[in-house]
Each structure stands twice: as C-alpha cells, then as structure tokens.
A and B are shown apart, each in its own frame.
Chain A
C-alpha cells in the first residue's frame, strides 16, 4: 500500500506512481478513505475507477458538499480523473455515482461512523433502545 503525502496540489511524480499502482490493480480503481484529525473517519467515502473516467465534471459539480475536484493526474486515455479534496465532507450520498455517465465513481456510507458530537447527542437522548 503506497501512502501519499499530500491531498491536493499533488506533484505529478507522486500521481504517476499512484497510477502505476492503480493500473496494476484488477479494475484499475482506487479508493480513498480518510483518517482525519482526531482519529475520526469520514461518514462516506468515494471509490473511483480511474480508467473509466472521461473528466466530464458532473461529479465535481453536483457533489452537494464539494468533496471532489478534477486532479492534475492523467489516466491512460489522457483524462483528468477526480480526486477527493474535502474528505471530511463526504456523506456517502452517492450522487456522484448517480451522475457519472461512465460508471467511474461511486460513493458509499462508511458503516457505523458517527462524529463525536453525534455520539454524545445520542448518549444524552437516553436509553430508548
């Protein structure tokens, strides 16, 4: 597993290395899941099949929380696939997946994730269960 050191404004070299790892995967996709400060995991995460993307921009535009941006990397057809720039904002709504005409991206909810304030709120709401 290659760990990259930056999320955006990424150096081409690093992305090229990432791409070579990606294209050696079975479907050529990469999954982005984020550990955020405080050990919190984002509510949702996004999975991108890099080789299918044609950089139409629908996912970037219609993500309700602006999680994505087109990267400066290239897939083998020369398109810039999207990447996650605001992972903490991903709710896993999968609108990106519904819009993508190339079946190149989808979002999913990470099971059982709650932010600390939500977890607190639930505790105080009391034992209804």
Chain B
C-alpha cells in the first residue's frame, strides 16, 4: 500500500539551505548541488559552529552556492572571492572561512589570488567545483578545459594545455590538496571535514558535470552518463605526485588526497614575527570596539 503522508522529518541538508530560494537555478544533472550535500554533511560531521562560518564565492554557476546556503555568505566579484575571504579572515581570525567557487573563477581571473593565498598559506578552505568550462556564460573555454574539447570560444576544438589544478596549488604552497568527483559523495565530505581540521590553505577540487554545455557540446551524454563515467574512470590515488594527475578528454580521473602537509599559516607566521620584533608592544587581537562604539 502506498501512503501519502504529511511528513515532518527533515533532510539533513535542509538546515543549511535558504529554503525560501528553492528550487535553485542549477540545471538538471548539474553536480553543484551534490557538492553542497557533501559540504553540509561535512559541517555536521565536524560539528563546526555555524555562527563562526562564513562562505565566500565568486561569479559563475558555483558562485551561486553563496546565495543558497544559510550562512553568513558573500557573493563577490569574479575571481576575487579569495582576497575578500583573506580580508574577512584577517579582520576576524575566529571565523572559519570557506571559499566555494568554480574553476574559471578561481584559476583564470582569480588565478593570481589563488597562488598568492596558497603561497601565504592563508587559513582558507577552498572548494573548487571544476566542470571544465565557463558554464554560466554559455560554455566558453576555461583554463581547465581539456584539449580537443569543443566550447563556444573554441568551436573547432581546444588546443591549449589545461591547468592541472592540484599541481598548481601544491607548487604555490597549499597544505591540503584533494580531488574528488561528484560521484564520490562520501569521500568528498570526508575531505572537507579534514580540511576543517587543518590550519592553512586547503584546496579541494571536485570534478562535476555540466550537462547543458560541456557534456552536450562534446556529445558526452547527460549528467547521469557523466556520473557513470566518473564511477568507471576514476582511480583513487592517495598521495600521487600532483604532476601526474592532469585530466584529459574522457581519460582517467585521478582522485584522492594528494597533499596533506603542515606549514605554519599566515597568521601564525605574522604573529610570531611581530612578537619577535615588537615584544610587548605588539597588540595581537584586533580591537574592534572602535568600530561600533
């Protein structure tokens, strides 16, 4: 017998959503929503105090995450989520600051900020949803688009080498680098939880379908077909050298935790330096009574 009930149980992700804005704008089969599920479960697992959590995103499909999560959230300008997050963290070091943005936003226009924040080891958790394309604007080539893919700005096929993002951020100095796909929902959640335990620049790349543009233009099926491809072609390679995890069109996807090292984060180094140079004269805690009165 099929019963239709009034139900007052709640989806675990629901308290983290601005339910007054559902349904969201992401396409059927897009993986961004799936990453938000993993994110929400990581928050639950890590028992993070939601009041101390701030989420910053840039522009693009993934950038819209900021608008759908029920947290202090900032939808900033294209490519500049990371410097905004840096200012936010420095002004209030007690905040847990997450940057949630896309591959074009973080590695093209935001590329400079990505490498400098990694170099400085700013204590940020960066979740980069990589759908290998500029989705929001209609499917243009991104620095992560693999060679020989068709995009709207490379209608005859791309020929540029693509960024290997884990390699880039490791070289720049990130202390935690992982890659999963939207198929790896539990592993992604675990990586996000691990990143929350780490102090310093953490970067988690999530390969996600863009069925409307990347997959459609390249005749790769829909979101479900892509998820099946991820399931089939992903290979877990924890600790693999990041130079070897580049992506190709329809090729193997190396996933796993590639880098997990310890390096003092920006604020730790800053404070140490000031303590050494200024001794007692250094005032460590930013004093904010002068702002609100």
Instruction: List chain A positions with a Cβ less than 8 A from chain B.
Output: 1-7, 18, 21-22, 25-27, 29-35, 47, 49, 51-52, 54-58, 61-62, 77, 79, 94-95, 97-103, 106, 108
User: How far is B260's CA from A2's CA once the two chains are assembled, in angstroms?
Assistant: 54
Q: Given A57-B224, A97-B11, answer yes or no on A4-B4 (Cβ-Cβ < 8 Å).
A: yes
Is A30 within 8 A of B5, CB to CB?
yes
Q: What residue in chain A is nearest B34 (Cβ atoms)?
A: A101
Q: Given A34-B1, A56-B223, answer yes or no on A61-B228 (Cβ-Cβ < 8 Å).
A: yes
Is B28 within 8 A of A55, CB to CB?
yes
Is A101 within 8 A of B185, CB to CB?
no
Q: Given A51-B23, A103-B11, A106-B11, answer yes or no on A98-B2 (Cβ-Cβ < 8 Å).
A: no
Whether B3 is near chain A, meaning CB under 8 Å from some CB there, is: yes
Is A58 within 8 A of B227, CB to CB?
yes
Is B26 within 8 A of A101, CB to CB?
yes
List the 9 closest A-B pairs by CB distance, nearest first: A101-B33, A54-B28, A31-B7, A106-B11, A4-B2, A98-B185, A56-B29, A57-B224, A31-B5
Give the residues in chain A near B228, CB-CB below 8 Å. Answer: 61
How close is B268's CB to chain A, nearest CB, in angstroms? 35
User: How far is B185's CA from A58's CA once the two chains are assembled, in angstroms?
Assistant: 12
Give the residues in chain A near B185, CB-CB below 8 Å. Answer: 95, 98-99
Is B2 within 8 A of A97, CB to CB?
no
A29, A49, A55, A103 — most chain B CB neighbours (10 Å): A103
Instruction: List chain B positions with a Cβ less than 8 A from chain A.
Output: 1-7, 9, 11-14, 17, 19, 22-24, 26-34, 36-38, 41, 182, 185-186, 189, 222-224, 227-228
Is A102 within 8 A of B33, CB to CB?
yes
How close is B154's CB to chain A, nearest CB, in angstroms? 27
Q: What residue in chain B is nearest A18 (Cβ atoms)?
A: B4
Is B23 within 8 A of A101, CB to CB?
no
10 further A-B contacts with Cβ under 8 Å, apart from A34-B1, A58-B29, A103-B33, are A27-B19, A34-B2, A47-B9, A47-B11, A49-B11, A56-B28, A58-B34, A98-B41, A101-B33, A103-B13
How close is A80's CB to chain B, nearest CB, in angstroms? 11
Is A101 within 8 A of B31, CB to CB?
yes
Pick the contact of B3: A3, A98, A99, A100 (CB < 8 A). A3
Is A98 within 8 A of B37, CB to CB?
yes
Q: Given A4-B4, A47-B7, A108-B9, answer yes or no on A99-B34 (Cβ-Cβ < 8 Å).
A: yes
Q: What residue in chain B is nearest A33 (Cβ atoms)?
A: B3
Q: Given A97-B37, A101-B33, A103-B33, answer yes or no on A33-B5 (Cβ-Cβ < 8 Å).
A: yes
Q: What residue in chain A is nearest B11 (Cβ atoms)?
A: A106
Q: What residue in chain A is nearest B7 (Cβ atoms)?
A: A31
How close is A71's CB to chain B, nearest CB, in angstroms? 11
How close is B31's CB to chain A, nearest CB, in angstroms? 6
Is B9 within 8 A of A7, CB to CB?
no
Give the residues in chain B near A51, CB-CB below 8 Å. Answer: 23
Give the residues in chain B near A58, CB-CB below 8 Å. Answer: 29, 34, 223-224, 227
How close is A38's CB to chain B, nearest CB, in angstroms? 14
Is A1 within 8 A of B29, CB to CB?
no
Give the residues in chain A near B23, CB-CB below 8 Å. Answer: 51-52, 54, 77, 102
Give the residues in chain A near B186, CB-CB below 8 Å. Answer: 98
Is B227 within 8 A of A61, CB to CB?
yes
How close is A41's CB to chain B, nearest CB, in angstroms? 12
How close is B231's CB to chain A, nearest CB, in angstroms? 9
User: How far is B228's CA from A101's CA once the two chains are assembled, in angstroms?
Assistant: 15
User: How far is B17's CA from A3's CA once the two chains are assembled, in angstroms?
Assistant: 32
Is A22 within 8 A of B37, CB to CB?
no
